Amino acid sequence: MKIKYRFLLVFILVTVITAGVLVATFSSYQADVRSDVDATLERDAQTAATVLDDRIERQTQTVTVAAGNPQFGSHGSAAQQTALDSFVDASAFTGASVVDSDGEMRAIAGVDDDASTSVVGESYSDREYVQNALGGDTHISDPFEADTGNQIVVISAPIRENGEIVGSLNAALQLDNTTLFVPFGDSANEVGLTVDSGQTTLHSTADRFDESVTYTTALSSTGWAVTTHYDSAAIDEDIRQLAMLQLLVSVLLIGTISGFGIWIYQTEIRHTERLHRRIDNIEARTYNDDIEFSGAAEWQAIGNALDRLSTTLARREQMLLVLNRFLRHNLRNELNVAVGHATDIKREADTPEAHQRAETIETSIGRVLSTADRVRLTEQLIDPAALEGQSIDLMALLKEQVEQATRDSPMLSVTLDGPEAVHIHGAQTLGFAIQELLSNVAAHSRPEPLARIAVSMTPESITLEIADNGPGMHPEEAAIITGSKEISPLYHSSGLGLWLVNWIVRRHDGQLSIPDTENGTTVVIRLPRPDDAL
């Protein structure tokens, strides 16, 4: 995969992960907001319930203590009425009454004279709070609507005299306009409170909310439901502000990542692509291109080094081509002239010794001409397009070269072992390499030269082995040919043929080796197997 696609993949992955983290963070913050709201509602509801329970308990204790006043047991007396009036004036109750042990109203305070006259003497024995008080219990009634139209609660306590219950003290606590729900009055914030008794709402500051999140608890003293409300609109506003902040952070973060990615692409990835194209151009022998490296000092240094390398390779290639053409034309022409003169001398020689010397000169010049012909291959090896798009059958090429070699050297015997067909990507220069190896066998394995050729395959490579029955090659010369040892004045190769074979094999992305053997010489050529052959 190209580096820019890898970079794009990593960039997308980092962006997706970042977006996922931001979404997860937002969800976590949103959950925290709702959790905080729930905790606030629960805390406020518990606090309100505790405060109300405490206030009702204090009022209950006020009635219980007041019921111990002996004047409340003096039914119908002026002292009883005076004590009742004083109780109402000194307490938070809006009214109070005394009922005797038979349930008859004997005194009342907190109402006008007409109301007092109409109820005194009436029987209240059917009232639950009266029944409980006369039964010896302090009782808090359920809220109900009084004759005045107000919502009230009556707290009743038994009146005792000498240990006997002689009546009940009943104190009315008005709920519509009372300090009972202070400080639970109207509030301008996002939290509201509702107190309900059954289906009856005693107090509420949540009417201003269209929708709300609630939490409900009950008073231990009365069983009233205390519900705290949190305005849904306020929650939505908090989440909206959080979303806007998160969006701003997301834009900044992803924008920073994108900017950094664009900067990396422009300064590094683009330069990597330029480097790749420059190397391709050098391989294609296009040494003069307009690809420039700017920006960081390292890239400029790489660009300058590639410029120097291109200049050096262009000069060396020019030198090689000039030398090649000199050998092919100038030197060949001069040697042909020399061969002609050697032939004339041989023909005109008057002694066997002169004839032999002329023949030796002719043979030596012929070997030099053969070397000059081989040098022509270097131009094909330099051309990078020589191997592109070509597919050949290695077995067919081997059979062709074996037939040619045995025609040229009738004493040469060759055995060929391998598959029916082996297709490789290559050029006809590979045929020259095989021809050169077979020629070496014919020249150095006398008197009965034998070459054994074996072809084998693996999923990754094709191996060609050519073994002979000759005297073998000196290990130092083999090491120089294969490149495992440097050329030196002491150790060097004596021929051009094996050099060309090695260059041809490398040009085919292969590897040439000459392993040590007890008898003869074995040359091993390993070539990559084409993908379409697998």
Q: CA separation (Å) from 409 to 322, 396, 441?
A: 34, 20, 10
Residue 382 confidence (pLDDT): 62
- Measured CA to CA, the distance from residue 159 to residue 73 in angstroms comes to 7
Residues 228 and 90 in one domain: yes
Q: Quickly tell me which residue has 């008898």 as its tokens.
A: 519
The number of domains in the chain is: 3
pLDDT tier for residue 92 given thresholds of 50, 70 and 90:
confident
Q: Does residue 229 come out as left (phi exceeding 0), alpha (psi in the -120 to 50 range) or beta?
A: beta
SS3 284: coil
Q: Is the bond preceding residue 419 a cis peptide, omega within 30 degrees?
A: no
In this structure, how many other beta carbons lie within 10 angstroms of the beta carbon of residue 14? Answer: 14
Pairing of strands 461-468, 522-528: antiparallel
Q: Are residues 271 and 405 in the same domain?
A: no
In a domain, 382, yes or no: no
Q: Answer yes or no: do 339 and 237 share one domain.
A: no
Choose one of 310, 345, 375: the last residue of a domain: 375
Q: Are residues 406 and 302 in the same domain?
A: no
Query: Following CA atoms 314, 317, 319, 322 in sequence, which dihedral angle do they give, to the nearest 10 degrees?
Result: -120
Query: In CATH, what number is assigned to the domain containing residue 525?
Result: 3.30.565.10
- Compute the CA torsion angle 153, 155, 156, 161 (nearest 10 deg): -150
State pLDDT tens for residues 25-62.
888 888 888 899 899 889 989 988 999 999 899 999 99
The answer to whether 103 touches 134, Cβ cutoff 8 Å, is yes
Q: What is the DSSP string of 185-243?
A: S--SSSEEEEEEETTEEEEES-TT-SSEEEEEEE-TTT--EEEEEEEHHHHHHHHHHHH
Full residue range of the structural domain in which residue 36 is found = 1-284
Closest CA to 160 of 133, 139, 128, 120: 133
Residue 222 sits in a domain whose CATH number is 3.30.450.20
Mean pLDDT score, 459-464: 91
Is residue 289, in this structure, part of any structural domain at all?
Answer: no
Asked if the structure places residue 290 within a domain, the reply is no
pTM: 0.52
Residue 455 lies in a domain: yes
DSSP class of 165:
E
Q: Mind listing the pLDDT tens digit for each residue in 97-142? A: 999 999 999 999 988 888 888 889 999 999 999 999 999 999 999 8
Q: Are residues 219 and 321 in the same domain?
A: no
Residue where the block lists tokens 């909310």: 209
Average pLDDT over residues 305-323: 80
The answer, yes or no, to whether residue 310 has pLDDT greater than 70, is: yes
Q: What is the mean pLDDT of the chain?
A: 83
Pairing of strands 105-109, 191-197: unpaired
The pLDDT of residue 527 is 92
